[in-house]
Amino acid sequence: MGVVNVTPDSFSDGGRWFDTTTAVKHGLDLVAQGADLVDVGGESTRPGATRVDETEELRRVIPVVRGLASEGVAVSVDTMRASVAEQALAAGAALVNDVSGGLADPAMIPVVAASGAPFVVMHWRGFLEGGNVKGVYEDVVTEVFDELHARVQAVLEGGVAPDRIVVDPGLGFSKQAEHDLALLAHLDRLHALGHPLLVAASRKRFLGRVLAGPEGEPPPARERDAATAAVSALAAQAGAWAVRVHEVRATADAVRVARAVEAARAAGPAPGTPTRGAHPGPGPGTAEGAR
Ligand code: PMM
């Protein structure tokens, strides 16, 4: 999933794709680089960002969704507003990606349910104003699992079909670097939710922390793409359904390599591997064994 942020203020690429023509062209470039889906958003979810009003969000998002969909691109709309989701679906979007998992707008779940579109349910603890007080966990993996499970139940009760739901741990949302890393280390546990998993690590703060080491300055967001590709490979190996990234080419390659290694694993023992019991190597007590 490639990202097109039609915003002046996203932390990772704010302002770069802010007019419709540039944004559509960028989305097409991402497809040429290997994206299967393009995620179009008109509101920055950066902690402390002021919310954009509905009219402005519609103005930013809908023409870009229409432009990309009319070129045959599978478009996802990144929005917390039901009205934006509804109009984006009417303009050709194929999927709704709501970082609030349906919590920010009570009309979201009915709109998605009525459309039959797939719905990304992200782990979210609310809007952050001043500090990250909601980012306190005793056991982040268990708590994210339980809270996502509760959201999935609410979404199912709201009428979205089970095979339309995608779950996402919400890296960086009410989470510190150690929480993001713990979630990535235990993606296997989130599979137990029984839904495809989306992982959106691209350029996020925890990567800046990892790259900076304990003392140094984190590199700027745009210099975190190699690290993003590394996370993409790890997420693909852990069975993620999709990874959401700003720079697609490196991640598409990383995912291909992870898939090829996985296929080799599935094919069985490596060529030339001696079978168990037939190993001719040294046993205990031999001169070689003593080395
Ligand atoms: N993160 C951002 C925006 N949208 N959607 C999903 N499903 N998961 C995320 O983690 C997520 C998202 C914020 O990143 P950006 O400003 O770089 O797009």
Domain boundaries, the chain: 2-267
Options 125, 203, 224, 244, the catalytic residue: 244
**Residue pLDDT, tens place only, 200-225:** 999 999 999 999 977 789 999 999 99
Catalytic, 244? Answer yes
Q: How many CA atoms lie within 13 A of 34 on its CB side?
A: 15
**Residue pLDDT, tens place only, 251-262:** 999 999 999 999
198 is written with which tokens?
Answer: 């989306």
- Residue minimizing CA distance to atom 17 of ligand 1: 12
Residues in contact with 51: Cβ distance below 8 Å, sequence separation at least 6, in sequence order: 43, 127
Residues in contact with 283: Cβ distance below 8 Å, sequence separation at least 6, in sequence order: 289
- Residue minimizing CA distance to atom 3 of ligand 1: 45
* CA dist., res. 23 & res. 31, Å (int): 13
Per CATH, the architecture of 2-267 is what?
Alpha-Beta Barrel (3.20)
For ligand 1, the distance from its centroid to the CA atom of residue 200, given in whole angstroms, is: 6
* CA dist., res. 98 & res. 79, Å (int): 5
Q: Answer yes or no: is pLDDT of 284 > 50.
A: no
Is any atom of ligand 1 closer than 6 Å to the C-beta of 87?
A: no
DSSP bridge partners of 95:
76
- Residue minimizing CA distance to atom 12 of ligand 1: 99
What's residue 291's pLDDT? Answer: 46
**Residue pLDDT, tens place only, 95-117:** 999 999 999 999 999 999 999 99
- 97 CA closest ligand 1 atom index: 7
H or E element in which residue 21 lies: helix 20-32
Predicted model pTM: 0.90
Q: Answer yes or no: is pLDDT of 241 > 60.
A: yes
Q: If DSSP states are collapsed to H, E and C, what string results for 145-163?
A: HHHHHHHHHHHHHCCCCHH
Catalytic, 46? Answer no
Neighbouring CB atoms inside 10 A of 270's CB total: 8
Is any atom of ligand 1 closer than 6 Å to the C-beta of 77?
A: no
Q: Answer yes or no: is pLDDT of 78 > 60.
A: yes
What's residue 278's pLDDT? Answer: 54
Query: Quick check: 89 and 77 in contact, CB under 8 A?
Result: yes
